[in-house]
Amino acid sequence: MNAPMSRAELLALPPVIGIVTAGRVLGFGRTKSYELARTGEFPCRVIRVGRSYLVPTAVLLAVLGLEPNRPPLADVPDDDSRGAHQ
pLDDT attached to residue 4: 83
Measured CA angle at 14 (ends 12, 20), to 5 deg = 100
- Whether residue 85 is contained in a domain is answered as no
**What does the pLDDT read at residue 29?**
96
Q: What is the mean pLDDT of residues 17-44?
A: 97
Residue 44 within a domain: yes
Secondary structure letter of residue 4 according to DSSP: P
Q: In what order do the strands lie in the sheet with 52-56?
A: 16-18, 52-56, 47-49
- 63: pLDDT confidence band, cut at 50, 70 and 90? very high
Q: Structure pTM?
A: 0.75
Whole domain around residue 11: which residue ranges? 7-64
- Residue 35 pLDDT exceeds 80: yes
Any domain includes 55? yes
Q: Quick one: DSSP state of residue 76?
A: S
Task: For strands 16-18 and 52-56, give the pairing.
Answer: antiparallel
